[in-house]
Amino acid sequence: MTATSRALDLAQLAARAADSKQGEDIVALDVSEPLPLTDVFVLVTGRNERNVQAIAAEVEEKMIEAGVKPLRREGRAEGRWILIDFGDVIVHIFHEEERLFYSLERLWKDCPAVPLELEHPATDSA
C-alpha cells in the first residue's frame, strides 16, 4: 500500500508551511505500509523553541485553511518536539537536539521518502 494522493497533497501543504517559517531539514516519509493509522510523516527541524512553535502554528493554520483539523496535538508548550496529528498526515516539528536524539529517519529508514517541492530546499553539504 502507498500513501493516498490526498495524504501526499496534505504533506506537501504542511511542508510548504514549515518551509515558510524557516523550518529546516524537511522530510516526508510514506509510512502507510507499516502503519495502518496514517500515511505520511512530515519531519521538520526548528532552530529554537520559539521557531518550533512558530512552525507548528503556521502548519496548523494552513491545514485548517485547507479544511483539515488536527485530531491531536502534543508538546506545544515545551516547543522541543511538537506532534500534530491530521489523520492522514502526522507532522513532527523538532528542536535540533530532539531530532538528532530520536532520529525518526533512522527508525523509519525502510519507508520511502516523499518528494517535496519547497521554496527553500535543503542543500547537501556532503
pLDDT digits (tens), the chain, 126 positions: 689 999 999 999 999 999 999 999 999 999 999 998 999 999 999 999 999 999 999 999 999 999 999 999 999 888 899 999 999 999 999 999 999 999 999 999 999 999 999 987 665 443
Rounding to the nearest 10 degrees, give the CA dihedral for residues 92, 42, 66, 50. Answer: 40
User: Residue 28 CB: number of other CB atoms within 10 A?
Assistant: 26
Q: Give me the residue spans of the domains in the chain.
A: 5-107
Only one residue has cell 479544511, namely 67
Domain range 5-107, CATH architecture: 2-Layer Sandwich (3.30)
